[in-house]
């Protein structure tokens, strides 16, 4: 993610927000429902997450895992400097992230957990079991939920809300995994669905590589989606406990993201050849009415 030459703070703000919208149409849409005062800090923190993710998912294809690991270490070094209040001055992201940290006191551990998740990818650690899937998803998704808490609730409530925030992040990450099975194996040679589940449903990696939806594959995908649904359900109590001024935006983000799984069902579980997406019209409708369960049952009855 390169940073263009920006002449003013207004230009920087515009670049941050446009980059946020480009990389996350769903979360940036939901962010409009958050208070104006935290929208740009949320976008800035999201771009930090993108910086880390892009090394593990894109940069590695250009330079290889060894060089990518060195670049991840360089990001960690810059994060260290930023959290100490002396960010690299030649990069908008780090300067603005330092400002966000000064204003909101970002929790440090989740920022570093995200880096650990990138290392997991670059070292090609396996995902053999459900526990591995949850552990990985906590590093790359649960951490994001935890690091967003300073924008969502008062400081004295962070400890109580962090478990639910992490569960929502885990649920969203598993949703990402379900959506991107085809892309992950074709472009990155990665399979995040646990090997144990593949064996249970008699799904071979070779069939995924060939983009073939085998007989057991829909049941495998349903198992992954049911796991995500468990974490969504466990997060909703925490969302309900958020202040009204942030609850609507986070609830909308959860609903919009969860609906991706219904789109996978609508595509006959073919996430190997077709990327599921939720239309803008449906996203907007989910802000007012959560029709996930009704649509899920209708789609499952058809399939």
Whether residues 191 and 288 share a domain: the answer is: yes
What Cα–Cα distance (Å) separates residue 110 from each residue in 26, 45, 166?
22, 12, 10
Mean pLDDT of 216-237: 97
- The number of distinct structural domains making up the chain is 2
Domain-located, residue 116:
no
> What confidence score (pLDDT) does residue 279 get?
96
Asked if residue 241 has pLDDT above 80, the reply is yes
Query: What pLDDT digit, counting tens, does each position of 81-134 carry?
Result: 999 999 998 889 999 999 999 999 999 999 999 999 999 999 999 999 999 999
Give the whole-angstrom CA distance, residue 263 versus residue 266. Answer: 5
Domain-located, residue 117:
no
Give the whole-angstrom CA distance, residue 49 versus residue 143. Answer: 10
Whether residues 143 and 227 share a domain: the answer is: yes
**The domain boundary residue, chosen from 106, 140, 169:** 106
Whether residues 102 and 130 share a domain: the answer is: no
Whether residues 293 and 152 share a domain: the answer is: yes
Q: Using the 8-state DSSP alphabet, how is residue 223 labeled?
A: H
**The domain boundary residue, chosen from 106, 138, 153:** 106
Q: Tokens for 105? A: 């006191």
**The domain boundary residue, chosen from 73, 106, 139:** 106
* SS3 readout for 158-181: HHHHHHHHHHHHHHHHHHHHHHCH
Domain-located, residue 218:
yes
Lowest pLDDT segment from 25-29, 88-92, 250-254, 284-288: 88-92
Whether residues 136 and 82 share a domain: the answer is: no
Q: Tokens for 192? A: 């995040």
Mean pLDDT of 181-210: 97
> What confidence score (pLDDT) does residue 117 get?
98
Give the whole-angstrom CA distance, residue 89 versus residue 86. Answer: 8
Give the whole-angstrom CA distance, residue 61 versus residue 259. Answer: 30
Whether residues 224 and 175 share a domain: the answer is: yes
Asked if residue 303 has pLDDT above 80, the reply is no
Domain-located, residue 113:
no
Whether residues 303 and 202 share a domain: the answer is: yes
Q: How many helices (H) and strands (E) does the chain have?
A: 16, 0
Whether residues 237 and 198 share a domain: the answer is: yes
Mean pLDDT of 211-231: 97
> What confidence score (pLDDT) does residue 7 get?
66
Residue 50: give the domain boundaries: 8-106
Q: What are phi and psi of 33, to 5 degrees?
A: -90, -5
Nearest to 90 by CA among 15, 218, 3, 156: 3
Mean pLDDT of all residues belonging to the chain: 95
Domain-located, residue 87:
yes
> What confidence score (pLDDT) does residue 4 get?
54
Predicted TM-score (pTM) of the model is 0.95
Asked if residue 5 has pLDDT above 60, the reply is no
Asked if residue 2 has pLDDT above 70, the reply is no
Whether residues 274 and 139 share a domain: the answer is: yes
> What confidence score (pLDDT) does residue 187 get?
95
Domain-located, residue 279:
yes
Give the whole-angstrom CA distance, residue 168 versus residue 149. Answer: 12
Whether residues 271 and 131 share a domain: the answer is: yes
Whether residues 206 and 176 share a domain: the answer is: yes
> What confidence score (pLDDT) does residue 289 get?
94
Q: What is the CATH number of the domain that holds 241?
A: 1.10.600.10
Q: What angle do CA 175, 274, 182 make, to 5 degrees?
A: 65
Domain-located, residue 220:
yes
Whether residues 182 and 38 share a domain: the answer is: no
Domain-located, residue 118:
no
Asked if residue 292 has pLDDT above 60, the reply is yes
Q: Are 64 and 11 in contact (CB under 8 A)?
A: no
Q: Describe the crossing of helices 60-83 and 92-104 by its angle, rounded to 10 degrees.
A: 40
Share of the chain above pLDDT 90, in %: 94
Give the whole-angstrom CA distance, residue 136 versus residue 114. Answer: 10
Give the whole-angstrom CA distance, residue 230 versus residue 236. Answer: 10
For tokens 């997991």, the residue is 120
């Amino acid at each position: 993610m390169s940073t263009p030459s920006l002449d003013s703070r207004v230009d920087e703000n515009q670049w941050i927000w446009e980059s946020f919208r480009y990389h996350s149409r769903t979360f940036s849409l939901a962010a409009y429902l958050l208070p104006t005062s935290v929208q740009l800090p949320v976008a800035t923190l999201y771009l930090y997450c993108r910086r880390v993710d892009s090394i593990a998912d894109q940069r590695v294809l250009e330079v290889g895992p060894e060089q990518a690991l060195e670049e991840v270490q360089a990001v960690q070094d810059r994060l260290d400097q930023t959290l100490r209040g002396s960010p690299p001055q030649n990069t908008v992201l780090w300067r603005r992230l330092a400002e966000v940290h000064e204003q909101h006191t970002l929790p440090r551990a989740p920022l570093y957990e995200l880096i650990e998740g990138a290392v997991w990818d670059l070292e090609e650690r396996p995902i053999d079991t459900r526990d591995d899937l949850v552990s990985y998803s906590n590093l790359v998704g649960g951490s994001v939920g935890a690091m967003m808490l300073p924008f969502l609730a008062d400081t004295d409530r962070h400890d109580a809300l962090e478990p639910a925030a992490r569960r929502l992040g885990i649920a969203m990450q598993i949703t990402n995994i379900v959506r991107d099975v085809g892309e992950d194996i074709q472009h990155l040679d990665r399979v995040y669905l646990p090997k144990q589940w593949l064996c249970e449903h008699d799904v071979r990696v070779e069939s995924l590589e060939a983009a073939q939806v085998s007989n057991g594959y829909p049941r495998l995908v349903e198992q992954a989606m049911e796991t995500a649904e468990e974490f969504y359900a466990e997060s909703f109590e925490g969302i309900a406990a958020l202040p009204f001024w942030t609850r609507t935006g986070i609830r909308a983000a959860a609903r919009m993201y969860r609906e991706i799984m219904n789109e996978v069902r609508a595509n006959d579980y073919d996430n190997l050849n077709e990327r599921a997406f939720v239309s803008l019209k449906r996203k907007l409708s989910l802000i007012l009415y959560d029709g996930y369960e009704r649509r899920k049952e209708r789609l499952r009855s058809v399939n």
